């Protein structure tokens, strides 16, 4: 087993997770089997009780693990299925050591950070690294480990010491350290500054670890507008002129007499900068990488490919499919406007998997997602009085969207706005997808507007309502919050194949999707809802818990209690996200089926499917 450790310095948020995932992609393309581990030095046992504003989304695994969002990156990039043990936290390590101490496993010894905590960390890493995550037997060839935070953080010290010991025990030939750092450029001087990275590497070396590669993130320089000779550019897009990576748009500033406009430039590392870094950081110049900004993150493995192979980590890689995917996205010109009505829109990482699932689906349909973020509270009537401009802007954005998506969340803030968004989509035939809370919102709205239950609500928001159509699940805990929800991959049984959801999934008997919820649709109101027209086409194995709802006669009005975004992959998008635009032409009403046809033709161009079907049944037959 070989280990690749990715650490970060200077500041957080440099892209360690994407770098670690991209390294895994390159190694996998070289024919190696790869697994991943994320180390989070915080004291929480897992990410399940953390606010999305604090830490981004909580990613859910098949085994029900609530983990850091970087594990979602690993799964999407590497197409693997990780476990909760692939996310190590300080809380888990100390909990395991203290449990052993209480059982008397240490035979009366004084329990200390070294060796007991560090040994626990090493043992955890080595045991988890041996677990296959790609569906094959036997351990992986390489384990990519990402250490969260930045070098020098107090809470990460035990992990750094454990990793130092691990590097010594496995040997130099089996351990590679990649340090991701920032090379800032001061606006006044315009000079690339290496001192922050020097100090970061010095701190790392003082702790016993020396980087083999430096992945340097250079600051962006904004130069808009800027005149370039016409011989240096060809059309619109990202281009490398040897002195920088520029985004050129020939469609703007023509009235000003400019040939092209540069919106931003990611400044490359200069030769003298690399020389200085090499001299003071004890890293060869050839191993200093410039990880500049790119039009999409699928280009990052392509940036790392040459360096990793030159470092003799692996044999030449085959990244043709990955290259094609990255370039395909760059060349897409058509887009679709999607209104994302949520509670945590102030931090887009709160819905990272939803955004990625939309991206996967849109690319499969040769579209670029244009996501309009709408704070649900801005749609509410109270907002019209308190913040009229935000209220008007939110409604204008919603009305201009081609489809509406209401993702998951907890708490009553913004719920009224979500209900209004669901009502707007239902009454105006705008395609709607509700995920988890979004499905419950559509049930509440339907009960109020169609059944006439004015106080219809969820017991999460109003425990006193006589008409709670969403209730707390009986097996849930009201005293403990962590790991007490209905979590992980569970079966959803289709009740009929004559529904949009079943067709999008290619008519299976059931699907396995991941869940994370405490509340469910009240079984006592199912009969009344279905009599009024709302259909629950997917249920759990008991038949009592509602999983998928649809509104017949609507172009696309679907809700899922599960989270389909967690299993979406590049090249294999989640069916629930496939092109939900309400087509303005005569194919309106069966566009999801057309989306499946587009998806098949995208990956199997030799197949010729009939795109001119004149009914939903004909479109289904084509699929």
Residues identified as active-site: 436, 563, 565
Rounded-to-integer distance, Cα 29 and Cα 27, Å: 5
Asked if 591 and 555 count as a contact pair (C-beta separation under 8 A), the reply is yes
H or E stretch including 571? none
Angle at 618 between CA 613 and CA 623, to 5 degrees: 95
Q: Kindly state the tokens that stand for 169.
A: 């025990």
3-state SS class at 262: strand
* DSSP one-letter string for 369-397: EEEEEEEGGGGSHHHHHH-HHHHHHHHHH
Residue that is written with structure tokens 């489809």 in the block:
403
Per-residue CA distances from 211 to 8, 272, 303, 343 (Å): 11, 20, 19, 41
Asked if 414 and 421 count as a contact pair (C-beta separation under 8 A), the reply is no
3-state SS class at 2: strand
3-state SS class at 146: strand
* DSSP one-letter string for 433-444: EEETHHHHHHHH
Angle at 289 between CA 283 and CA 295, to 5 degrees: 165
Cis, peptide link before residue 225, omega less than 30° from 0: yes
Q: What length is written for the chain?
A: 623
| Range list of H helices, 171-249 | 195-206
């Amino acid at each position: 087993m070989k280990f690749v450790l990715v650490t970060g310095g200077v500041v957080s948020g440099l892209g360690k997770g994407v770098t670690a995932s991209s390294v895994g992609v390159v190694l996998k393309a070289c024919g190696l089997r790869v697994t991943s581990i994320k180390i989070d030095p915080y004291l929480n046992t897992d990410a399940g009780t953390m606010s999305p504003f604090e830490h981004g989304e909580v990613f859910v695994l098949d085994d029900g693990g609530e983990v850091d969002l970087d594990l979602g990156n690993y799964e999407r990039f590497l197409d693997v299925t990780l476990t909760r043990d692939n996310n190590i936290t300080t809380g888990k390590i100390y909990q395991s050591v203290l449990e052993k101490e209480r059982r008397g496993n240490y035979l009366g010894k004084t329990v200390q950070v070294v060796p007991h905590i560090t040994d626990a960390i090493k043992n955890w890493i080595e045991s988890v690294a041996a677990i296959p995550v790609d569906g094959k037997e036997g351990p992986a060839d390489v384990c990519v480990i990402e250490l969260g935070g930045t070098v020098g953080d107090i809470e990460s010290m035990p992990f750094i010491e454990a990793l130092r010991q691990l590097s010594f025990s496995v040997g130099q030939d089996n351990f590679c350290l990649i340090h991701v750092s920032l090379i800032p450029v001061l606006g006044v001087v315009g000079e690339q500054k290496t001192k922050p990275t020097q100090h970061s590497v010095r701190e790392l070396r003082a702790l016993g670890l020396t980087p083999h590669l430096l992945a340097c993130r250079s600051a962006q320089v904004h130069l808009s507008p800027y005149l370039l000779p016409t011989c240096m550019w060809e059309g619109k897009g990202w281009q490398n002129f040897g002195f920088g990576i520029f985004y050129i748009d020939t469609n703007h500033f023509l009235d000003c007499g400019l040939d092209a406009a540069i919106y931003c430039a990611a400044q490359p590392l200069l030769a003298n900068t690399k020389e200085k870094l090499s001299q003071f950081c004890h890293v060869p110049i050839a191993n200093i990488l410039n990880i500049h900004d790119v039009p999409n993150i699928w280009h990052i493995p392509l940036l790392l490919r040459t360096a990793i192979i030159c470092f003799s980590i692996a044999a030449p890689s085959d990244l043709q499919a990955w290259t094609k995917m990255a370039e395909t996205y760059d060349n897409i010109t058509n887009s679709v406007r999607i209104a994302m009505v949520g509670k945590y829109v102030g931090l887009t990482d709160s819905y990272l998997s939803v955004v990625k699932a939309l991206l996967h689906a849109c690319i499969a349909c040769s579209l670029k997602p244009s996501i309009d973020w709408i704070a649900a509270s801005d749609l509410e009537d109270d907002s019209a009085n308190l913040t009229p401009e935000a209220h008007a802007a939110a409604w204008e954005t919603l009305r201009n969207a081609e489809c509406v998506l209401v993702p998951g969340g907890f708490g009553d803030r913004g719920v009224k706005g979500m209900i209004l968004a669901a009502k707007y989509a239902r009454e105006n035939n705008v395609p709607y997808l509700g995920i988890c809370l979004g499905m419950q919102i559509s049930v509440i709205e339907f009960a109020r507007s169609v059944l006439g239950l004015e106080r219809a609500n969820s017991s999460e928001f109003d425990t006193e309502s006589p008409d709670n159509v969403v209730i707390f699940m009986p097996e849930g805990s009201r005293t403990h919050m962590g790991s007490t929800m209905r979590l992980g991959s569970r079966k959803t049984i289709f009740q009929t194949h004559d529904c949009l959801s079943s067709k999008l999934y290619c008519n299976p008997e059931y699907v396995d999707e991941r869940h994370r919820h405490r509340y469910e649709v009240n079984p006592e109101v199912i009969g009344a809802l279905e009599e009024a027209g709302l259909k629950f086409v997917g249920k759990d194995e008991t038949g009592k818990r509602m999983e998928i709802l649809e509104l017949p006669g609507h172009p696309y009005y679907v809700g899922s209690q599960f989270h389909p975004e967690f299993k979406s992959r590049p090249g294999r998008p989640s069916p629930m996200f496939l092109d939900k635009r309400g087509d303005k032409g005569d194919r309106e009403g069966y566009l999801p089926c057309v989306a499946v046809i587009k998806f098949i033709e995208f990956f199997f161009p030799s197949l010729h499917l009939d795109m001119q079907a004149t009914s939903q049944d004909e479109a289904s037959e084509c699929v």
